[in-house]
Amino acid sequence: MSSTDFDKQPDIESVLQPTTSAETTQERIERVKSQIEWQPNPDKSKWENLKDSFKKIELEEIDPNLTAIEKIAIKTARTPLKRRLKNRHLQMIAIGGAIGSGLFIGSGSSLSTSGPAGVLIGYLISATFILCVVCGLGELAVEFPVSGSFTTYANRFVDESFGFAANWNYVYGCSVSVPLEIVAAAITVNYWNTPKKYTDAFVALFFIVIVVINLFGVKGYGEAEYFFSGVKVLCILGFILLGIILVCGGGPDHKYVGGTMWHHPYGAFIGDTGAERFKTIMSVFVSAAFAYAGVEMTGMAAAETANPRKSIPSAAKQVFWRILIFYIVSLTLVGLLVSKDDPRLVGNSYYDSASSPFVIAMVSHGIKGLPSVFNVVVLIASLSVGNASVYGATRIMVSMCESGHIPKWTNLDYIDQKGRPLVALVVISVLSLLSFIATSSKEDEVFTWLLALTGLSAMFTWFGISLSHIRFRHALKAQGRGTDELCFVAPTGLWGSYYSCGMIAIIVCLDFWTSLWPYKTAPNAEDFFESYMSAPVFILIYLGHKIWKKNWKFFIPAKEVDIDTGRRETDIEKLKIELAQEKADFATKPFYYRAYKYAC
């Protein structure tokens, strides 16, 4: 469709019936949402009100003459999810939301396969492009706090086929992540020598806890993550303090550790040649991607945040400090305290919850009592990430049904009076029953498979976010508009998104090489698909949609991209004046205040 044809399409402001001629599309969307805010009927019993709260919210019909892309933009913008996440919820989700078994347990696999220096290199390189991804996402989420967030952006700014693949990739990743985290939680319980026959009961308990939290809606999710994240943050800070003491010889054994784990006979790397060491470092990126997965959750929560313009920029910028303190510093200490050859690490001969390198560090240096406390935190972290995965998967399913990527008859866009995506929650709950594989004697192999499958899934999600940001900026320029109308401009800029796309593409290609010719083993199908299965799945979904829809373009032309529908700030000229005034006021603040706000 040419730009001329696009201009001839029906005015989007005719989608909903206006109350006044001056009412904008976004104001109409807000009016509809305010009209459908459900309140209990005082004339009915509590039981009747409870039943009514599960009824579906019915919205006004959309103008059938609109194009498919315009319909998707309107539907995702007006989804009746409740805006009940407060700033404190979003800040805590940003600080500790993604800390889970990927860091506490999965990092042990990285340490055993690449050494302490290899772990730091892999995690540091990953951190550089992830920071660019999150800043770009923050810019988009502030402007377009819509249902589905970053996967919806792929539909609007990149291409419908790419959006289709990105949606399914994220649902697939979250669907795998939920049973993975429940399995990790069940494994953690084994630390206390819990009889195997009780594994089913623990899996069922963890499953019920996650489902019940999400039944309380977005407020339940926010409060649970506020508590979970607070516990995880305190635990990591406590371990960092303890780790420094142990490295300096202040532990019960009074043994000075220093950098001995980096030297003979241990060594900082695994592999005798540069090529071998390169391969082992490349293997870190998959587990690092899983450990970092969830950093994008602040963008997902934008549609249910009371004031994304104020809270999301701060949450996005805090990712840098979270990665630096919680990942890099803690893993540096782990590499100083735990040998890469320790048989208790994941990836070596022995496997249970004690394989967490954080626990090994404490046990190996004579710390008693704290390892049990830390395992409780590992358990909480697993439930936290599983809870976030259910939240993310259900929101994406709603968006996919609204976008036409899932058949309407599935009713996955069912949102009840309390703003809960009930049908999507039922579906993800059924898929989560896969977690009962924890009762299998092969639970360690299952954990490794799920970990590998989820890692590359996160890579494709981040690639889609950065590509959407690039296309959005190009659309602004092509339509004669600039960043002066944006409430938040990504500190990493457009080139940051180019960098993240390039790095992710390079890593995915190199991972193909290391998966096909793994370190110290001959090429084999099991190792390849264990590490690389999500890549061909993503490509097949993308190409399949292209063929099915006969959609042969790679990108939506920049002049045709819709950069207005879904914005909460609709009066651009008024917004520019407000932003200019805010910048002028900010310039009068003391230097230390401006420095703090720029960084946090």
* Cα–Cα nearest to 111, from 325, 439, 332: 332
| Residue 365, phi then psi, degrees to nearest 5 | -115, 25
Q: What is the pLDDT of residue 505?
A: 94
**Rounded Cα gap, residues 431 and 426, in angstroms:** 9
Q: What is the pLDDT of residue 10?
A: 34
Bridge-partner residues for 85, per DSSP? Answer: 305
**Rounded Cα gap, residues 238 and 232, in angstroms:** 10
- pTM of structure: 0.83
List every span in the chain annotated with CATH 1.20.1740.10: 69-566
**Are the C-beta atoms of residues 469 and 136 closer than 8 Å to each other?**
yes
Q: What is the pLDDT of residue 275?
A: 78
Using alpha carbons, list the distances in angstroms from residue 548 to 157, 543, 552.
21, 9, 11
Residue 208: how many CA atoms within 13 Å on its side-chain side? 6
**Rounded Cα gap, residues 365 and 372, in angstroms:** 15
Assign residue 264 a region (left: φ > 0; alpha: ψ between -120 and 50; beta: otherwise): beta
Sequence-distant (≥ 6) Cβ neighbours of residue 187 within 8 angstroms = 105, 352, 353, 438, 443, 447
**Are the C-beta atoms of residues 207 and 182 closer than 8 Å to each other?**
yes
pLDDT tens across the length of the chain (600 residues): 333 333 333 333 333 444 444 445 555 555 444 444 556 666 677 777 667 666 766 666 666 666 666 656 665 555 555 566 676 777 677 666 668 777 888 788 889 888 999 999 999 999 899 989 989 998 998 888 776 667 788 888 999 899 899 888 888 888 888 887 787 787 778 778 777 777 788 888 888 999 888 888 777 888 888 888 888 889 999 999 999 999 998 888 788 888 888 887 778 888 777 778 888 888 888 778 878 877 887 777 666 676 777 777 877 777 777 788 888 999 999 999 998 888 878 654 334 556 788 988 998 888 888 888 888 888 888 888 888 888 888 888 888 887 778 888 888 888 877 778 888 899 998 888 877 776 666 666 666 666 656 667 888 999 999 999 999 999 999 999 888 888 888 989 999 999 999 999 999 998 888 888 877 777 777 777 777 878 888 899 999 999 998 888 888 999 988 888 777 665 677 777 877 887 888 788 888 877 777 766
Q: What is the pLDDT of residue 348?
A: 45
Q: Does domain 69-566 match CATH 1.20.1740.10?
A: yes
**DSSP-derived secondary structure for 147-165:** TTHHHHHIIIII-HHHHHH
Question: How far is Cα of residue 440 from the mean position of the Cα atoms in its chain?
Answer: 29
Q: What is the pLDDT of residue 3?
A: 37
Bridge-partner residues for 537, per DSSP? Answer: none
Helix (H) or strand (E) holding 276: helix 274-292
Dig out the tokens for 276 from the structure.
């071998």
**Rounded Cα gap, residues 524 and 517, in angstroms:** 8
Helix (H) or strand (E) holding 232: helix 217-247
**Rounded Cα gap, residues 600 and 389, in angstroms:** 26
**Rounded Cα gap, residues 536 and 588, in angstroms:** 53
* Cα–Cα nearest to 419, from 156, 175, 137, 85: 85
